[in-house]
């Protein structure tokens, strides 16, 4: 199984000109504001403070790149709710769109909160990935907040909304590290 032993922050990009060029596969992490992208990245890389975690939505405003050895992780700005102006939200949406239009991602981890399921923004993001034939995996975050049975029911509902199989969704918890092994296995298949 893949092991990430020495992940490091590389740089942040505010525009297309600042996107990094690399020969390594790029795995993008997307999701609405406050879905737990930073916590997921920290769990995945086994580093508590690699990605800055905040209780305030909308903290990630740039594309943040992390070198994870065999691949690069690209943390994209959260979409949807955030305590920022409409103009700032529009800039983030454009940055995400340009990132994908430039074929910058080999695979996408699309995060959604297992407690609430996907909202209209989440569904639009996944439809965009389907339409542009960008491979992705759904990561259902915050699984520790529900019982095992409730997580199972929620995963079924999320799968129905995303039009995919429940087995294609990986429930995770940054608190308990639930799902980490499955995510690392998935990464192994993506990279081989």
Instruction: Please identify which residue in the block is written with the tokens 């000109």.
Output: 17
| 146-186 pLDDT per residue, tens | 999 999 999 999 999 999 999 999 999 999 999 999 999 99
Q: From CA 37, how far away is CA 46, in angstroms rounded?
A: 14
| Angle, CA 132 vertex, CA 80 and CA 75 arms, to 5° | 45
The structure's pTM equals 0.91
CA distances from 70 to 9, 27, 110, 128 (A): 14, 11, 20, 27
63 and 75 Cβ atoms separated by less than 8 Å: yes
What number is the average pLDDT over the span 98-105?
A: 87
**Residue 28 in this model has a pLDDT that exceeds 60:** yes
The whole-number pLDDT of residue 58 equals 46
Per-residue confidence at 122, pLDDT binned at 50, 70, 90? very high
Q: Is 66 exposed, middle or buried (0-12, 13-18, 19+ CB in 10 A)?
A: buried
The whole-number pLDDT of residue 2 equals 87
Per-residue confidence at 142, pLDDT binned at 50, 70, 90? very high
**Residue 55 in this model has a pLDDT that exceeds 60:** no
**Residue 53 in this model has a pLDDT that exceeds 80:** no
135 and 179 Cβ atoms separated by less than 8 Å: no
Residue 149's nearest CA partner among 167, 174, 171, 175 is 171
What ranges in 25-174 are assigned the alpha helix state H? 37-45, 86-101, 120-131, 148-162
* Cβ neighbours of 152 (radius 10 Å): 12
| Angle, CA 171 vertex, CA 165 and CA 176 arms, to 5° | 165
The whole-number pLDDT of residue 1 equals 79
The whole-number pLDDT of residue 57 equals 47
């Amino acid at each position: 199984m893949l092991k990430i032993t020495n992940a490091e922050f590389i740089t942040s990009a505010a525009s297309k000109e600042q996107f990094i060029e690399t020969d390594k596969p790029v795995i993008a992490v997307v999701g609405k504001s406050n879905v737990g992208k930073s916590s997921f990245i920290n769990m995945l890389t086994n580093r508590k403070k690699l990605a800055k975690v905040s209780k305030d939505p909308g903290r990630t405003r740039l594309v943040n790149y992390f070198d994870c050895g065999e691949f690069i992780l690209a943390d994209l700005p959260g979409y949807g709710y955030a305590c920022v102006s409409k103009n700032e939200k529009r800039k983030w949406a454009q940055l995400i769109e340009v990132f994908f239009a430039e074929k910058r991602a080999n695979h996408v981890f699309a995060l959604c909160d297992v407690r609430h399921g996907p909202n209209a923004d989440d569904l639009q993001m996944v439809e965009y990935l389907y339409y542009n034939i960008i491979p992705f995996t759904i990561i259902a975050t915050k699984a520790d907040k529900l019982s095992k049975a409730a997580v199972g029911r929620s995963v079924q509902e999320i799968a129905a909304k995303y039009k995919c199989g429940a087995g294609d969704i990986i429930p995770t918890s940054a608190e308990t590290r639930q799902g980490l092994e499955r995510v690392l296995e998935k990464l192994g298949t993506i990279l081989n």
